[in-house]
Structures are given as C-alpha cells and as structure tokens.
Amino acid sequence: MRKSGCMRANIARRRNDSKSAGRIGLAGVLALAAVFGPAAAASWRAGAADGRLGFRFVQAGVPEEGVFRAFDARFEFDPAHPEGGTACVEVATASVDSGDEERDTILRSADFFDVARHPLAVYRGRLRRAGEALRLEGVLRLRGRDAPVALDARLEPAAEGWRLVVRGTLDRLAFSVGEGDWADPQWIGREVAVEARLRLRPDDGAAGLARAGKGVENGCQAATEDGRDDGKAGPGPFR
C-alpha cells in the first residue's frame, strides 16, 4: 500500500512537471517569436543636420554643384523588407546654395525656382525592388509642376537608424526651371544630377517644413490629411 501511494505521488508530480514544462516551452516560443518574428513598418526621418541633399549641373560647359540647406525627409518601411516603403521629402527652395551668391539670387528668382510663389518642393515616392537593388520611384513637384523621378537607392544599417544613399537625374525643363534665355541648354544643361546621403533616425513626430512656416504647398502632412496618399506614383504628385 505504501508503494502504491508513493507511485501515485510520483505520477502526480510528473504530470505537474510536464504541465510546467509545457507552459515554459510555450512562453519560450512566444518570446522567440516576438524577438525574431517579422518586423512592422517603422517611421524614419532625416533633416539637414543628418546628411546632404545635393545636385550637379553644367553651366556654359563647366561642371557646377550645389546643395539645399533646409529639407525634411520622412520614410516608412519594414527594415526586413524595405520594398513597398514610402517616402516624402520637403525641400525649402530658398535654401539653395551653389557657392555663388549672385547665382543663388538668380536661382531663387521667378525664372528658376520662383521661391516667392513656390517655397516648397515635394517628392513623394515608394521603394521598389529591382533585382538585388532598391529603387525609389515617385513624383517630384517643383515650381508647381509635377514629373516622375526615379532614383537608385542603397540602404544600410547604422547606429540608431539607417544610412540611405539615393542618386539619379532629372530634366530641369520638365519643371520649367530656367525660363526665357535660360532654357537654352547652351547656357545650362538640361540634365541635373541629384544625390542625397542621409542618416535616418526614428521619426520624432515634429512638424515638417510646411507646418514650420516654409509654405503649405502640398506638404507631406497636407497630402496625408486630404486623403491623397494612396501609395502610388502616378501622373499626379500624390496619386
């Protein structure tokens, strides 16, 4: 009888141990799933303090370059699968700096960026996979005109965020940048190379350039609020 009682006690103890092990195993699986499971899309941001937004052009046969000193770039993507992620970049056109004060005054004039009427340029796009590479495909609104712009993109992990490099070219005359005599490619080449090198950090939710007084012309936040952000890069800037 004593042996039977001991056996029953041992069996009961084993059952309890088995249940505990099952609970621990399930908890472990859930913990691993939380750590190694698919990541959700996250919001990232970069401004002038986080990198460089530059351009290169040819003036009278001489290569020249410049930068924009004020911009706000926002991205949303899943780090494990960045393709399909979205981008919106606001650029203060008056912040153009080509290293020549006289030329910058001309660039800000009505013949070029017309900053008095169009203080903001806005690019909206989506990350696409092109073989092993990434492309950023979207539409740029500059000087009140829209045209598609596609850029090669490279995304790498960095401290507390990501490092993004994008490169491409655009036709300045598609945006009527350089009117009148300036439209002649003999003076300024039609093709403008653009390049951005950015350190993306978690989005802090602060207002963009449009809400900070640089102009509200189709800013990123305005496009989202009126429902035009459907993630497509079609003929319009937000369609």
Please state, for a pLDDT cut of 90, what percent of the chain lies above it: 65
Same domain, 116 and 30: no
- Whether 220 maps to a domain, the answer reads yes
Q: How confident is the model at residue 204 (pLDDT cuts 50, 70, 90)?
A: confident
CATH code for position 58: 2.40.128.110
CA distances in angstroms from 201 to 75, 135, 156, listed in the order given: 10, 20, 12
Percent of the chain scored above 70 by pLDDT?
72
Residue 217 has pLDDT above 80, yes or no: no
pLDDT tens-digit map of 28-42: 333 333 344 445 789
How many angstroms separate the CA atoms of 106 and 120, rounded?
Answer: 17
Q: Are 53 and 87 in contact (CB under 8 A)?
A: no
Q: Judge if 99 and 155 occupy the same domain.
A: yes
Q: Do 31 and 47 share a domain, yes or no?
A: no
Helix (H) or strand (E) holding 122: strand 120-130
Q: Whole-angstrom Cα distance, residue 60 to residue 165?
A: 29
Give kind and range of the element (H or E) at residue 25.
helix 2-36
Domain that holds residue 30: 1-37
Residue 239 has pLDDT above 80, yes or no: no
pLDDT tops 50 at residue 22: no
0.85 exceeded by pTM:
no
pLDDT digits (tens, 9 = 90+) for 164-178: 999 999 999 999 999
Mean pLDDT for all residues in the chain? 81
Domain co-membership, 32 together with 134: no
Residue scoring higher pLDDT (211 or 16): 211
Both 3 and 60 in a single domain?
no
Q: CB–CB of 57/188 below 8 Å?
A: yes
Does residue 230 form part of some domain? no
User: Cα(103)–Cα(66) distance, rounded to whole angstroms?
Assistant: 11
In one letter, which amino acid is 173? L
Q: How many whole angstroms separate alpha carbon 225 and alpha carbon 42?
A: 19
Among 8-12, 125-129, 133-137, 232-236, the range scoring the smallest mean pLDDT is 232-236
Residues 117 and 10 reside in one and the same domain = no
Per-residue DSSP letter, 233: -
Residue 8 has pLDDT above 80, yes or no: no
- My answer on whether 19 and 110 are in the same domain is no
Distance in angstroms (rounded) separating the CA atoms of residues 169 and 55: 9
pLDDT for 26 equals 30
Residues 113 and 19 in one domain: no
Please name the residues in contact with 75: beta carbons below 8 A apart, sequence gap of 6 or more. 43, 44, 45, 85, 86, 87, 164, 200
Question: Across residues 170-195, what is the average pLDDT?
Answer: 95
Same domain, 54 and 158: yes
Pick from 147, 142, 148, 146: nearest CA to 92: 142
**Rounded Cα gap, residues 41 and 157, in angstroms:** 15
Q: Kindly give the pairing relationship between strand 62-68 and strand 42-47.
A: unpaired
Output the pLDDT for position 104: 98
**How do beta strands 161-171 and 145-158 pair?**
antiparallel
The answer to whether residue 104 sits within a structural domain is: yes
pLDDT at 39: 54
| Same domain membership, residue 195 and residue 100 | yes
Would you say residue 83 lies in a domain? yes
In a domain, 231, yes or no: no
Q: Are 82 and 134 in contact (CB under 8 A)?
A: yes
> 126: pLDDT confidence band, cut at 50, 70 and 90?
very high
Rounded Cα gap, residues 10 and 159, in angstroms: 54
Question: 211 pLDDT band (50/70/90 cuts)?
Answer: low
Whether 25 and 46 share a structural domain: no
Sign, CA dihedral 109-110-114-118, equals: positive
Q: Is the pLDDT of residue 79 over 80?
A: yes
In tens, the pLDDT along 137-166 reads: 999 999 999 999 999 999 999 988 999 999
Predicted local distance difference test score (pLDDT) of residue 213: 55
pLDDT of 234 higher than 60: no
- Residue scoring higher pLDDT (197 or 17): 197
Dist. CA 53–CA 47, nearest whole Å: 9
112 and 218 housed in the same domain:
yes
Give the chain's domain count. Answer: 2
